[in-house]
Amino acid sequence: MAADYILVVHKENPVERLSPLEVKDIFLGKKVKWGNDAPITLVMNTNEEIHEQFTRVMLQKSPVQLSVYWKKILYSGIGMLPLAVKDDEAAKSYVGSHKNAISYITEDALDRQVKKVEIR
Amino acid sequence: MRNGGSIRSKIWRCVLVALIGYFVATLSSFYSNMSQYDRLSLLVQVHFPQATLGNDILYTFKRQTERYEEAFLTGEGELAAQGNDLSASLSTMLDQLLVAVERYPHPQVTPSYIQGLRDEYRAYAHLAGKVYAQVADVESSLDLQKEVGQLGRAQHHLLTAFTELNKRLNTFFISEIEENKNKSLKSTIFLGALFVLVLLTVTLIIDRVAHRLLITPLAKLQENVHRFSRTQDVIRPEPTSTTDEIGHLAKAFWEMTKNLKATTVSKKYVDNIIRNMTGGLVVVSPAGAIQTVNQRTLAMFGYSEEELLGTMAATLFTPDDEAVLSPDLINTLVTNGPLKDADVTCLTKAGRRFPAHFSGSAMHNEEGTLEGIICVINDITELKNAEHTLRKMAHYDALTGVANRNLFFERLENSIRDAQRDERIFALLYLDLDNFKPINDSMGHDVGDLVLKTVAGRLQEVVRTGDTVARMGGDEFTIILNALHSAADAEILARKISETISAPFVINGSGCTLGVSIGISLFPDDGADTEILVNKADYAMYQAKSAGRSTFRRFTEG
């Protein structure tokens, strides 16, 4: 049984919830700014279980496909590759210290460093 | 334009007009075709290669970027190398395009624009050749990512620029084709209109020229011919030059008509003569039917022309003269020549007869066959009357109407001849009125003449038919008493005459009495010669007068 994932942002980020479509747009680089015009910093949690589950459920892609997708964006000069971290801890640490960052972690790993955003 | 010149030169003028028109049309057609050829050449040699280069550049660049992308995604160095290989040829194409645009300026693509693109591309190719060959570390190297992103943007810019370049070249190429199409259409329309215009102009000019140079002079000539046929009168034409054939033809015609007028008698002229002839003209067919008559004939006979034409000529003559114009007579006229002034008696429509002179001659046509008989009939009634009057004047006494001396001697000779032939006797009485001179002197010549007329009348009454009373002059009369049985008969008649004369006269209301002395000579007893007989009667008369008037004496010797 795979662990469930949750979206996390900086504690000061006012956003409370995002729709699945908004989540998809953000992680495919189509929505690049928060409501207050601050740029969104994507953090890919490459923890194997979570990463695969998140990309397949939320982005309807395999992790390899997502990698190629982002490389094409990079190749065509539209954007840079998103930041990649190894596990939940690294993700929480980065999101906790960067105001505009967003990432996903295992539900059990949620703590006070970050704020959970509901997907609804 | 002169109206003169030969027909050849006039036709050449028309041909020249047509040739000029043809030359103008051909020249403009040639010019139009040449300019179209130039435009098409430019299209083939310049605009089409430019457009093709634009296509090739865009296509090659797309292939190159595909190779790079694959190389970037797969990390295959071979694909990156393939991409790099295309850089040289694309760079060459840009150079070619630059040269082409420098040689044939393009309205939307300047050489500097292509130069800029070329330089930009070279920079891109240089960087791409380096970057895409080693992209394995892209996820970990932020610098590399930046370079890839920069290349991506440069590539995007170039793609947009090449697409735009290609679009401009192709659009211009297509617009050039369109323009050529329009120009061709316009020039076709223009040429068509020009040809029609030239054709119309040439036709019009030739028509005017031909009309002025050929048709008008011919129409004038024709008018002259008509005029001649109507009025025998022609206006003298003047040829404008020595080579003006139509003018000369017109002049020749004019001269011909002049000669014709001088040498030929017109039908009008002949008709006029016939109409005004004093004699009646009748033309009769060889069969004897009337073919032509003139007004005089109609007036003479009282027929209308319709009544006479076709009827037999014999109708015009009394039955006695029917031999006139019988087939026999016609033959005679043909063989013996014309008949001149034959005496005939004509018969009018009303049945009146009149004497006429008839002349006829045969009329032959040019081939020598008999066409008819030309007859001239002259009414000689007046001539006959005049002859009668003349004869009367020659033989009769103008005052008394009895025979004059001439007729008396003629009759006397006749009587002598008749009496000698028949062995008869006749008497000659010589009368001299008594006391006539006093009446003539006292009562005037008028009365004297009246007395003489009365005496002559009484003498005529008393003699027998066949006897002759003549006035010898003054108050002397003679009487020939023919066919007597004896000398006594003469004396009986002499007494009767004397008594008749002695009867009283009533002249101007007053009565008077005359006497007469008569001398008698007898044939053959007193002589067989007129002179002797007259002398003897005259002598006897003087004897009677000496014996005491109002008596008679036979001639006796001594």
pLDDT digits (tens, 9 = 90+) for A2-50: 558 899 999 999 988 899 999 999 999 898 888 888 899 999 988 888 8
**Confidence band for B388, pLDDT divided at 50, 70 and 90:** confident
CB neighbour list of residue A78: distance below 8 Å, 6 or more residues apart: A29, B149, B152
Q: Which residues of chain A are within 8 Å of residue B146 when distances are taken between CB atoms? A: 80
Dihedrals phi, psi of B339, to nearest 5 degrees = -105, 135
Give the span between the Cα atoms of B321 and B336, in whole angstroms: 20
DSSP strand pairing (B510-512 vs A101-106)? unpaired
Contact in structure between B73 and B129 (CB atoms under 8 Å): no
Cβ A80 vs Cβ B149: under 8 Å: yes
Residue B212 DSSP label: I
Environment class of A49 (CB within 10 Å of its CB; exposed 0-12, middle 13-18, buried 19+) = exposed
Does B149 contact A72 at a Cβ distance shorter than 8 Å? Answer: no
Residue A63 CB burial class (10 angstroms; 0-12, 13-18, ≥19): middle
Query: Do residues B66 and B155 touch, judged by C-beta distance below 8 A?
Result: no
Specify the pLDDT at position B322. Answer: 58
Same fold for the pair B267-385 and B396-554? no
Of B517, B526, B527, residue with least CA distance to B556: B526
Closest by CA position to B43, among listed B53, B51, B33: B51
A86 part of contact set with chain B, CB < 8 Å: no
Read off the pLDDT of residues B422-475 as tens digits, 9 standing for 90 and up: 888 999 999 998 888 888 888 888 888 888 888 899 988 888 888 999 998 888
Q: List the CATH number of the domain containing A49.
A: 3.40.190.10
**Chain B contacts of A76, Cβ < 8 Å?**
152, 155-156
Q: Quick one: which of B484, B522, B482, B518 has its CA closest to B500? A: B518
Q: Is A74 on the interface with B (CB under 8 A)?
A: yes
Confidence of residue A1 (pLDDT cuts 50, 70, 90): very low
Residues 6+ apart with CB under 8 A from B295: B275
Enumerate the residues of chain B whose CB falls inside 8 A of the CB of residue A84. Answer: 139
pLDDT tens for each residue of B216-261: 888 888 888 888 778 767 777 776 677 777 788 888 888 888 887 7
pLDDT at B89: 92
What residue spans define the domains of chain B? 29-183, 267-385, 396-554
Question: What was the pLDDT predicted at B486?
Answer: 86
Cα gap B433→B14, rounded to integer Å: 114
Q: Can you give the residue range of the structural domain that contains A32?
A: 5-119
The verdict on domain B267-385 having CATH code 3.20.20.70 is no
Provide the pLDDT for residue A3.
Answer: 59
For chain A, how many structural domains are there in total? 1
Instruction: Measure Cα distances from A33 to A120, B407, B515 in Å.
Output: 20, 183, 199
Q: Domain B396-554 belongs to what topology?
A: Alpha-Beta Plaits (3.30.70)
Closest CA to B88 of B109, B118, B68, B112: B118
Residues within 8 A of A (CB atoms), B 146-185 only:
146, 148-156
Alpha helix positions (H), chain A: 20-27, 48-59, 63-75, 88-97
Looking at the complex, report in whole angstroms how far the Cα of residue A84 sits from the nearest Cα belonging to chain B.
Answer: 9
Dihedral (CA of A52, A58, A60, A63) sign: negative
